[in-house]
């Protein structure tokens, strides 16, 4: 997992997407079609949360999230996604 | 019912859909047309709930949910749906 | 009225629709056109309600509800509708 | 005014529409075009209200309401409208 | 200003629109195009307000309001508008 | 700055727009294209505010606001805009 | 970073956008296509916040924000963006 120097605001989470063919220890993988983006990634930075939205995920967690979720960033040549924690479905 | 290593966030529930022709002990089954997806499944994992949304369903419950509800995942070759508990209509 | 083995969640109500030509003791019936579904039915199961939405209708009540409201289910050969109580207009 | 055996739920009101050419004691009448439905009627039943929506109108009040408001019902051969009190503009 | 026998509900206000060419004592008038309705009128009746919406305007006030705002009524041959007070911009 | 005899309601503010080529003491000016309206003006009247929306701007402030914001009025031959304070971006 | 004489209202933040090819000390840069605007900038002024939205960013912070976010202003020949803090993703 990468180290990045970024502080997400509020309930936002920075995620390093995993390639669609990646398979976790528990064997979960995501259906892939030519049209779908990967939906699985590693958490690399989390915001402080808000009064209403406490942050549950931790740096290092592997998470599942919806297609077309979040905004793409590039950092030192790698692609990241930044999204609200409420866009994350589950920790695997 | 399958065991899966996944922790849904917040008020999300992981469901293993049952084939549309499946019939429960109480005899409930779902109308099926060529165009409709199955609407019945087994709960295989539940999130911790939120302050406003306590989780009512339990792992093992058979539930009814709306067509086109939730996001499809694949785990060790099986298809699952992840959705918010508020998308579930009833326990049967 | 049928007995069914189903527990609606939250503020949902299971209704057995009555045929459009059905006439209640008080003589209420619903205008019918070729395009309209019946809007009258018997309550066969109610959810526990929520903190914000207490349930008013009881099993056995005859209720009026909007066209196109709710989701259709089939149970032991009969058709039902499941809907939120807020979609029910009145008890007759 | 008719008597009807119906209990509106929550903040709903049952109204017997008056013909568009009806004129009240105070002389109010509603502009009529070929395309517009009547907007004036008698209250024949009111719901208990809700925590947030107390009911102001009483059975017997003549009220004004918006075009295309409410849902049509038929009772013993007469047409009624059921709507939320917030859809009623004024008592005349 | 007309007297009318009408009790607006909640935060509604009954307004007698002034012709677009009307000019107040302070000289305010509203831009007029062939397509625009008048936006200035006299308050002729006000509702009791609600818990969240206290009524500020008084009968007799001349007010400015948005084009296409409110619902048209006719009373003893005159046209009126009924609208929520929040649709009124200012007292002039 | 003009004096006008008008009392905005609630959280509304009356603004005298400045020509797009106007330049403030601090040198701020607004990009102008043939299609854009001026976005800078003088506050000439403010409403009393609401429980949730206290008014921050004062009569005499020069403010920036979004294009297409507010409703146009004409007073003694001058054009004004009336808008909610939340449509104002900044005081300059 | 520029000094500007402007007081954003409420939870608004004034940002001096950085050219898309700019690279921060931590090496973050934003993917650029012919169609995308820069998404990185320096905070030059912040509003006082609101009861519900405390301001987290400080003047001088480098921030990431969504494409097409905010309103463009021009000040002494430089372009700025004014946006709500909730439109800012992260501090880098």
Residue from the list E5, E12, E71 with its beta carbon closest to the beta carbon of D92: E5
B74 confidence band (pLDDT: 50, 70, 90): confident
Inform me whether the pLDDT recorded for F37 exceeds 70: no
Interface of B with C in 44-63 (CB under 8 A): 56-57
Mean pLDDT of G1-20: 85
Nearest CA in chain F to E90: F8
Q: Which residue has the higher pLDDT, D52 or D45?
A: D45
Inform me whether the pLDDT recorded for D31 exceeds 70: no
CA distance E65 to E88: 5
Residue A7, φ and ψ in degrees, nearest 5:
-115, 100
Q: Which residue has the higher pLDDT, D31 or C13?
A: C13
What's the gap in Å between the CA of A85 and the closest CA on chain G? 12
What's the gap in Å between the CA of E24 and the closest CA on chain D? 28
Q: Which residue has the higher pLDDT, D74 or E2?
A: D74
Q: What's the sign of the alpha-carbon dihedral B13, B19, B21, B23?
A: negative
In-domain check, residue D58: yes
Say yes or no: A33 contacts chain B, CB-CB below 8 A.
Answer: no
Q: Which residue has the higher pLDDT, B82 or B24?
A: B82
Residue from the list B85, B89, B91 with its beta carbon closest to the beta carbon of C71: B89
Residue from the list B25, B30, B85 with its beta carbon closest to the beta carbon of C73: B30
Say yes or no: C92 contacts chain D, CB-CB below 8 A.
Answer: yes
E36 confidence band (pLDDT: 50, 70, 90): very low
Which range has the top average pLDDT, C31-45, D34-48, E6-20, F19-33? E6-20
D66 confidence band (pLDDT: 50, 70, 90): confident
Which range has the top average pLDDT, B71-75, D29-33, F21-25? B71-75
In-domain check, residue D63: yes
G64 confidence band (pLDDT: 50, 70, 90): very high
Give the pLDDT confidence score for residue G86 in this predicted structure: 93
Inform me whether the pLDDT recorded for A37 exceeds 60: no
For C26-88, the three-class secondary structure string (H helix, E strand, C coil) is: CCEECCCCCCCCCCEEEEEEECCCCCCCCCCCCCCCEEEECCCCCEEEEECCEEEEEEEHHHE
Give the pLDDT confidence score for residue C5 in this predicted structure: 85
Mean pLDDT of chain D, nearest integer:
82
CA distance F62 to F92: 6
What's the gap in Å between the CA of E6 and the closest CA on chain D? 4
Q: Tell if the CB–CB gap between G82 and F64 is shorter than 8 Å.
A: yes
Give the pLDDT confidence score for residue A1 in this predicted structure: 54
Q: Tell if the CB–CB gap between A26 and B7 is shorter than 8 Å.
A: no
Say yes or no: G78 contacts chain F, CB-CB below 8 A.
Answer: no
F66 chain-G contacts, CB cut-off 8 A = 71
Give SS3 for D85.
helix
Q: Which residue has the higher pLDDT, E73 or E87?
A: E87
Inform me whether the pLDDT recorded for A33 exceeds 50: no
Residue listed under structure tokens 């905005």: F8
Give the pLDDT confidence score for residue D68 in this predicted structure: 84
CA distance D60 to D2: 10
In-domain check, residue C7: no
Say yes or no: A83 contacts chain G, CB-CB below 8 A.
Answer: no
CA distance B78 to B58: 20
Q: What's the sign of the alpha-carbon dihedral G11, G12, G16, G17?
A: positive
Inform me whether the pLDDT recorded for A67 exceeds 50: yes
Mean pLDDT of D51-61: 92
F51 chain-G contacts, CB cut-off 8 A = none
Give the pLDDT confidence score for residue B77 in this predicted structure: 81
What does the pLDDT look like over C12-68, one tens digit per residue?
A: 999 999 875 545 556 555 554 433 445 899 999 999 999 888 899 999 999 999 888
Residue from the list F27, F31, F56 with its beta carbon closest to the beta carbon of G9: F56
Q: Tell if the CB–CB gap between D6 and C28 is shorter than 8 Å.
A: yes
Its domain, for residue E32, covers 12-91
What's the gap in Å between the CA of E5 and the closest CA on chain D? 6
The CATH code of the domain that includes D77 is 2.30.33.40
Nearest CA in chain E to D57: E9
What's the gap in Å between the CA of F73 and the closest CA on chain G? 24
Inform me whether the pLDDT recorded for E79 exceeds 50: yes
What's the gap in Å between the CA of A53 and the closest CA on chain B? 10
Nearest CA in chain D to C67: D71
Chains that touch B (3 or more CB pairs under 8 A): A, C
> Of the given ranges (A77-81, D33-37, E50-54, G77-81), which has the lowest mean pLDDT?
D33-37
In-domain check, residue B72: yes
In-domain check, residue C54: yes
Domain count, chain F: 1
G60 confidence band (pLDDT: 50, 70, 90): very high
Residue from the list E28, E29, E86 with its beta carbon closest to the beta carbon of F6: E28
Residue listed under structure tokens 């499941």: C82
What's the gap in Å between the CA of G42 and the closest CA on chain A? 15
What does the pLDDT look like over B38-54, one tens digit per residue?
A: 489 999 999 999 988 88
Mean pLDDT of G69-88: 90
Mean pLDDT of chain E, nearest integer:
82
Inform me whether the pLDDT recorded for B10 exceeds 50: yes
D57 chain-E contacts, CB cut-off 8 A = 9
Residue listed under structure tokens 């146009």: F72
B67 confidence band (pLDDT: 50, 70, 90): confident
Neighbours of B65 (CB within 10 A): 25
Please name the residues in contact with C21: beta carbons below 8 A apart, sequence gap of 6 or more.
Answer: C29, C32
Give the pLDDT confidence score for residue D5 in this predicted structure: 85
- Provide the β-strand partners of residue G7: F91
Say yes or no: D22 contacts chain E, CB-CB below 8 A.
Answer: no
Say yes or no: B92 contacts chain C, CB-CB below 8 A.
Answer: yes
Mean pLDDT of F71-82: 87
G37 confidence band (pLDDT: 50, 70, 90): very low
Give the pLDDT confidence score for residue F34 in this predicted structure: 36
Q: Which residue has the higher pLDDT, C92 or B35?
A: C92
Q: What value of ipTM does the predicted structure carry?
A: 0.76
Among the listed residues C45, C33, C35, C32, the one whose alpha carbon sits nearest the alpha carbon of residue C82: C45
Q: Tell if the CB–CB gap between A86 and B10 is shorter than 8 Å.
A: yes
Q: Which residue has the higher pLDDT, G32 or A79?
A: A79
Inform me whether the pLDDT recorded for G2 exceeds 70: no
C25 chain-D contacts, CB cut-off 8 A = 5
Give the pLDDT confidence score for residue E88 in this predicted structure: 96
F88, G12 contact by CB (below 8 A): no
Touch between chain E and chain C: 3 or more Cβ pairs under 8 Å: no
Give the pLDDT confidence score for residue G29 in this predicted structure: 55
Mean pLDDT of chain B, nearest integer:
82
Beta strands in chain E (DSSP E): 7-8, 12-17, 28-29, 40-46, 62-65, 71-75, 78-84, 88-91
Say yes or no: D71 contacts chain E, CB-CB below 8 A.
Answer: no
Pair of tokens at residue C75: 């149970």
Say yes or no: G77 contacts chain A, CB-CB below 8 A.
Answer: no
> Of the given ranges (C62-66, E69-73, G36-40), which has the lowest mean pLDDT?
G36-40
Inform me whether the pLDDT recorded for D85 exceeds 80: yes
Residue from the list A30, A86, A92 with its beta carbon closest to the beta carbon of B74: A30
Give the pLDDT confidence score for residue F2 in this predicted structure: 59
E8 chain-D contacts, CB cut-off 8 A = 89-90
Residue from the list C74, C75, C82 with its beta carbon closest to the beta carbon of B89: C82
In-domain check, residue A77: yes
Residue listed under structure tokens 């003589």: C27
Mean pLDDT of chain F, nearest integer:
82
Residue from the list E57, E64, E91 with its beta carbon closest to the beta carbon of F73: E64
Give SS3 for E86.
helix
Among the listed residues C51, C37, C30, E39, the one whose alpha carbon sits nearest the alpha carbon of residue D51: C51
Mean pLDDT of F8-35: 69
A86 confidence band (pLDDT: 50, 70, 90): very high
> Of the given ranges (A78-87, B83-92, E65-74, F5-14), which has the lowest mean pLDDT?
E65-74
In-domain check, residue E33: yes
């Amino acid at each position: 997992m990468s180290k990045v120097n970024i502080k997400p605001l509020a309930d936002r989470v920075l995620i390093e997407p995993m390639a669609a063919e990646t398979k976790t220890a528990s064997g979960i993988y995501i259906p892939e079609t030519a049209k779908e983006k990967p939906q699985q990634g590693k958490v690399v930075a989390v915001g402080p949360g808000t009064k209403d939205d406490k942050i549950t995920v931790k740096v290092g967690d592997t998470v599942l999230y919806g297609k077309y979720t979040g905004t793409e960033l590039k950092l030192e040549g790698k692609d990241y996604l930044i999204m609200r924690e409420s866009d994350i479905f589950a920790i695997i």
